[in-house]
Structure 1
């Protein structure tokens, strides 16, 4: 399978590229930068004069992971606009490329997020769950709506609603572990908020599963089957690192420090990977302690 990937050099994308190669597939990375590479192959897009459709005539699948990180920087109005615009611009361009192709790809796997669902300490959300009405929910709704245009071209379309992706050097985990490394870790906020997480390798494996299985369509909650409340998640981090879990971080302090972005850690959703489970996907790391021990080994 020949797979074109937007966001292929990022945190999750780089793991996916390696996984595709290990499974006998070819990855072609869509890039805005003017760089040349044959391993993996790079194709320019979203830059002046770029005509990626000329080089993507025999693509079997697209994966769209492009977008400004929601973890970096305070959520100013400009930052929020960048978060939305970066996702919509990349998605619209991929749909445009698909429309221009005589031989359509079989599938588009588009990134999405569990931020679509309302925050709750009691509800459990499957793929048919209600949507929220805050900033992140609005971003996700717009993002999925634009990606769904590929379906009008006869392309099977999948929305991977990722939870908190755990990896060693990027994503949320380095920030989560930092206080523990400084012997200052503890419960964040009330500690009752849910953390619906997934190991980065399982996130990449879920994308590959969606690429290879025609039965995977529409929204897919891409989270491990065993979420934890924040207090237990923090205790697990401390246990894995051999550090104490004792110094609480009050909600008001995070709201002052992070503003609206504090919702990422002070509120959460309990999300179930219902579709992945029903279709037979097997997680390598279904439990948080096992996942954290693998990621943080040799530390």
Structure 2
């Protein structure tokens, strides 16, 4: 297949590139800076979101589009400027994806649009499947709803659309190195109450589930991209400590996280048990279904 990826140079995008190339697919990366893409006979770059760029002229016989583009939610406090970039980067990129689909002839069979389990809101007691309705109006939930609303316009063009609601992606990049650092320093412990769910998923299974969504015509709408065996923060930390042979003993109080990160601390102090019901029902086999397996693969 010919698969177009927006946001293909990021943490998740690079893992996805490798998986698609291993499976023999041809890839086009939509990027603002073509020089950052190492092109080959099966991987090429097309400029987009720049003045006068017209990517539709260079996209032929596209079978699927995967949209992962958007400002990272990690890194710094959520200032007003940061929050604005988080929202605008996602809505702008997704509108451009829909515009491209409108221009393409023939149209791709499927759009897999990046999303997040933040859609559901936070809870220590509820379990969320793809059928669950959102019950929160926090910043992340509102961002995800706007993101999915933009992507849903592709359905009006006759394109099967999947909202890939990602959890906490574990790999050698992303959030895990920072989560493991206190343990490597011998001062690891639970964050806040430790009772909040961590909706984790191994990077390899993210790539696998995105490809699974493309290849399975029965999958549409929301798709939780999480592990089938979620754990709470305290157990998550204990497992990191076990894998690294380091103690799990020094808790980080909630007030310290809030003082350091502000509103962004809610990502760490709260969580959601968002299970991959649709993936299991459709027969996806997880490469790393258990946390100790995933962390052994990444940290050792």
Match of 2:152 among 141, 145, 148: 148
Deviations 1:90-148 (A, max 9, x none): 10101000111121000000000000112111100001112121100000000000001
Structure 1 distance, partners of 2:30, 2:52, is: 14
Deviation at 1:38, TM superposition (A): 3.1
Q: Aligned runs of 1:196-207 on 2, under 5 Å?
A: 196-207=199-210
Q: Aligned runs of 1:109-124 on 2, under 5 Å?
A: 109-124=112-127
Q: Aligned runs of 1:128-207 on 2, under 5 Å?
A: 128-131=131-134, 132-168=136-172, 170-207=173-210
Structure 2 distance, partners of 1:130, 1:91, is: 22
Deviation at 1:72, TM superposition (A): 1.5
The normalised TM-score by structure 2 is: 0.97
Residues 118 and 130, structure 1, Cα contact 8 Å, conserved in 2: no
Match of 1:55 among 31, 53, 58: 58
Match of 2:218 among 212, 215, 218: 215
DSSP 3-state at the match of 2:140? helix
DSSP 3-state at the match of 1:69? coil
Question: 2:248 matched to 1:242?
Answer: no
Structure 1 distance, partners of 2:169, 2:38, is: 28
> Who is 1:285 aligned against?
288
Structure 2 distance, partners of 1:34, 1:289, is: 38
Structure 2 distance, partners of 1:31, 1:113, is: 22
> Who is 2:229 aligned against?
226
> Who is 2:22 aligned against?
22
Deviation at 1:71, TM superposition (A): 1.2
Residues 70 and 93, structure 2, Cα contact 8 Å, conserved in 1: yes
Structure 1 distance, partners of 2:294, 2:107, is: 38
Unpaired runs of 5+ in structure 2?
none
Structure 1 distance, partners of 2:29, 2:244, is: 35
Deviation at 1:191, TM superposition (A): 0.4
> Who is 2:48 aligned against?
45
Unpaired runs of 5+ in structure 1?
none
The normalised TM-score by structure 1 is: 0.97
Deviation at 1:37, TM superposition (A): 5.0
Structure 2 distance, partners of 1:145, 1:118, is: 17
Deviation at 1:34, TM superposition (A): 4.2
Deviation at 1:48, TM superposition (A): 1.3
Q: CA RMSD in A?
A: 0.9
Deviation at 1:256, TM superposition (A): 0.2
DSSP 3-state at the match of 2:4? strand
